[in-house]
Structure 1
């Protein structure tokens, strides 16, 4: 671990992906102001919404969570096992709402994963989708669920026209970004599917067997063919994310000013993995000051090139968030300054 030490304070760097430490004092609620980019602010007028956690747990040991839009309307209501707005661990029924007050989703969570029943609604209040989970899974992008973990029971467009009923029917979706069409049988995709993406510049064909993608082919705007077996492939750091964590821990240089100020806390840095695999467009979401964020960006720029992400067989830019935990503690007695 390479650290610039000049006083009797040793510095430790902990990299974690969803962990913040919050002091739970004798108070009834924790109120957090959250910015549009997911960062935190001390000012309500700078926030996109307000998150409030009630510190008195219910009979199941869960803490009530309520998020509010700036207009005062409820944004989300649910329950979390951890009374920390930056380390939510959802459990039970969680509901989200549109800014107009209409229900957007109602979902069951088990151990912070989607479980049981998920219902989505259109902004006008019409029921959009009902999906049943028989095995919990992390919340993925819309329409990219792994069908072998769930079944689509019902789907209707914003006018109320039902496309899928009792798990069967023809699914059709279209917006300015693209389109998609195919058959559902017994709640899962089956047979040939087709569609467009990236403003309809690219076309794709896919073949499913009992909800599992067997093959897919994208035809790009130049007429080139790109075969694939997974719709989405996430970028990967050489050796895995643990290797990146080790690299940052070993190469991060703690600024002398931060050491003098005994700065501890968590940096949060967003960046984009380009189609070439190179990290770019760094944005500091949470800054501890004293040059800590600049040094975090510097070490990430020195890291190895990533394997890029893919969607429908084509490389895509993918946004990542990396928390870097910084902590100073007094050195053991008898330790010498370096």
Structure 2
């Protein structure tokens, strides 16, 4: 017997926050024990983070959220619109911290989207960057260029040496072994940029006009050139997400034992779309028991109609998370 699911979301980030809610006796807060891999646990000792959501709203109608490292230091403090710990909807200021207690970022959200001024710091306390968002945007990730909806006003290296001031200057942006070098004008990338990515395996050259990429070329380790016109292209299921939703709805096999137990709820599966467009590295992030998680893996394995993602003209591996909502009760007969 097969049942449809109600919701599917995709995320191009390497960590997603899921929650296991444990109401306190006074019902004033919801305590969530979280894992780094996006899972959750009922055991505090096995958790990587502890998240506490206050059920009573403040005068503005939003709920206080505090998240803690195992050492007791604050990891994140902010405000959300709902009391559903599985779907945090941010509103207002949100601050994040390093595990040494030092401020990592100071942001503001409007309707769950970044807005106004965003400040980020190094773990030694030095201000790293100041960026102003003029269009509301989802929290940026590696497949979303922040330059599209913002202006970089200030940037300094970890020693405090200022490279961008009042939106102008030359900058060297480091990320592990990778680096990008170029100029900003009016808070936007301009002119010639060059650098490396994927642990310096690939070298690139790019040209910008008013923050818009006009052309780019990546050179691989064999000297082959890969031209591109977009820095990042997300993986795509052929036919789009609606077709993927339909495929899973038609092919998920509800385990008999789960049907007998009248199981209802959400199964979460993580997987990676590899450079050929095939889903690999499938893992159960959360399930409902009775084999529901394994059936989720089975159906995602069958959904092979993917176009891979690209970064600067090079196919790359991208991780996804898919929630599959199950209902053990058959849908009512519309007739």
TM-score (norm 2): 0.92
1:232 matched to which residue of 2? 232
| Residue pair 2:130, 2:153 contacting (<8 A) in 1 also | yes
DSSP 3-state at the match of 1:72: coil
Give the Å deviation of 1:22: 7.2
Give the Å deviation of 1:20: 8.9
Q: Deviations over 1:168-205 (max 9, x none)?
A: 01011235421110000011000000001122221100
| Residue pair 1:238, 1:304 contacting (<8 A) in 2 also | no
Rounded Cα–Cα distance in structure 2 between residues aligned with 1:187 and 1:87: 33
Is the alpha carbon distance of 1:207 and 1:330 closer, same or farther for their aligned partners in structure 2, counting shifts above 3 Å?
Answer: closer
| Residue pair 1:15, 1:249 contacting (<8 A) in 2 also | no
Task: Give 1:107-186 correspondences, 5 Å limit.
Answer: 107-141=107-141, 145-186=145-186
Q: Deviations over 1:184-243 (max 9, x none)?
A: 001100000000112222110000000111111000111001111111111000111111
1:246 matched to which residue of 2? 246
RMSD of equivalent CA atoms: 2.3
1:44 matched to which residue of 2? 44
| Residue pair 1:248, 1:299 contacting (<8 A) in 2 also | yes
Give the Å deviation of 1:13: 2.5
Rounded Cα–Cα distance in structure 1 between residues aligned with 2:59 and 2:282: 43
**Higher mean C-alpha displacement, 24-33 vs 111-120:** 24-33
Give the Å deviation of 1:163: 0.4
DSSP 3-state at the match of 2:307: coil
Rounded Cα–Cα distance in structure 1 between residues aligned with 2:195 and 2:330: 60
1:13 matched to which residue of 2? 5
Q: Which has the larger radius of gyration?
A: 1
Give the Å deviation of 1:142: 6.5
Rounded Cα–Cα distance in structure 1 between residues aligned with 2:60 and 2:176: 45
Q: Deviations over 1:34-71 (max 9, x none)?
A: 01111111000111000000000011110100000000
Give the Å deviation of 1:304: 3.3
Give the Å deviation of 1:112: 0.8
1:262 matched to which residue of 2? 262
Specify every segment of 5 or more residues in structure 2 that has no aligned partner in the other structure, as ranges.
11-17
Matched, 1:216 2:216: yes
Q: Deviations over 1:67-126 (max 9, x none)?
A: 000000000000001112210011111000000000000001111111001000001000
Alignment coverage as a number of residue pairs: 326
| Residue pair 1:57, 1:63 contacting (<8 A) in 2 also | yes
| Residue pair 1:94, 1:109 contacting (<8 A) in 2 also | yes
Which consecutive aligned stretches of 4+ in structure 1 deviate over 6 angstroms post-superposition?
18-26, 330-333
Specify every segment of 5 or more residues in structure 1 that has no aligned partner in the other structure, as ranges.
5-10, 334-338
